Amino acid sequence: MRIQIPFSKTPIFSSNPSKIRLTNSVNVLKQFLEAAEGRVLVLTGAGISTDSGIPDYRGPNGTYTTNKTYRPIFYHEFIQHHRFRQRYWARSYFGFPTIAKALPNSAHYALTTLQNQNLISKIITQNVDGLHHNSGSRNILELHGTLHEVKCLQCGYTRKRTDFQSRLAKLNTAWATYSRAFERDGLTPRVNPDGDVEPPKDTSYDLFIYPSCDSCKTGIYKPSVVFFGENIHPRVKQSADEMIEECSALLIVGSSLATYSAFRLVKAAKEMGKPVGIVNLRSTRGDDLADFKIEERCSDLFRRMLNEDEKGDGGHASK
């Protein structure tokens, strides 16, 4: 399955989804989780990480919203052209520290708590930031990979991205000095969900150096993420399909479902007759497939839900 960019602003989104009143949202979510008897599969997107300081793609402050000309790198460009690799690694060199320093927010920790309470079973995330792992969640499938490691395309050797970051700094002392000056002055470049940043327009990448593989000495390192135009590994696709088959219900959290790799999972769950719930502030591609939709910030909803649990509050849910 190849990842493609949905170029329209709101691709194939429903304009009139069934919504839950905020006063009822906690009760609706509780009933949804309890009815599945611990076999809820959660599918998360960039919206769950915005409160961790990582912007999403299509929200009010998202990458595609604030920069109409933004275009991510394509797989074939990275593979075939040295200059595209220079550009990618230079921009990623600036962006990765923000990803590395990001901390899980209340929504990430809430999913961990719900796992510990046996209310949800597994998590499929489209995010590459690693925050679900950092929050202590388990049974996580990273659909689009992770930014926290790099892999040689020739021999398959992998190394931690933090080690690779140090190597880039040693090879590019001028860039490292520039980066430290940013940090010293309290400046933070705008980081995209994939760890890419947008430096000044006149920035040249011609002198940026990236290393060859430490093992085979000739191979090219690539971040262990799925680029646009690249196929998801068959094992990952199969694991996602199996998780859909095994679950009793599917909950989407913080995703517009714009990429087909995520949307197809919602379609599959619905075709199997499984309940589908969505928690997302804005319209999604799957609104017409959902049994209910809660338009609320992920962190706010889960925080209220866990707070009510602590207080022992009850209530009856209604649409």
The whole-angstrom separation of Cα 232 and Cα 150 is 16
Does the annotation place 247 within a ligand binding site?
no
Active-site entry in 144, 148, 233, 316: 144
Does the annotation place 298 within a ligand binding site?
no
Alpha helices in 172-219 (DSSP H): 173-184
Inter-residue contact 132 to 168 (CB < 8 Å): no
The whole-angstrom separation of Cα 70 and Cα 313 is 46
In this structure, which amino acid lies at residue 49? S
| Collapsed DSSP state (helix, strand, coil) of residue 220 | strand
In this structure, which amino acid lies at residue 307? N
Does the annotation place 216 within a ligand binding site?
yes
- Cross-sheet strand order for the sheet of 158-160: 158-160, 145-152, 221-225
Residue entry with tokens 């094992």:
235
81 catalytic per annotation: no
Check residue 48 and give left, alpha or beta (phi > 0: left; psi -120 to 50: alpha): alpha
Enter the tokens of residue 85: 């690799």
Check residue 156 and give left, alpha or beta (phi > 0: left; psi -120 to 50: alpha): left
DSSP 72-140: PPBHHHHHH-HHHHHHHHHHHHHHHHHHHH----HHHHHHHHHHHTTSEEEEEE---S-HHHHTT--SE
Binding site for Zn(2+), residues?
152, 155, 213, 216
Tell me the catalytic residues: 144
Residue numbers in the known binding site are 152, 155, 213, 216
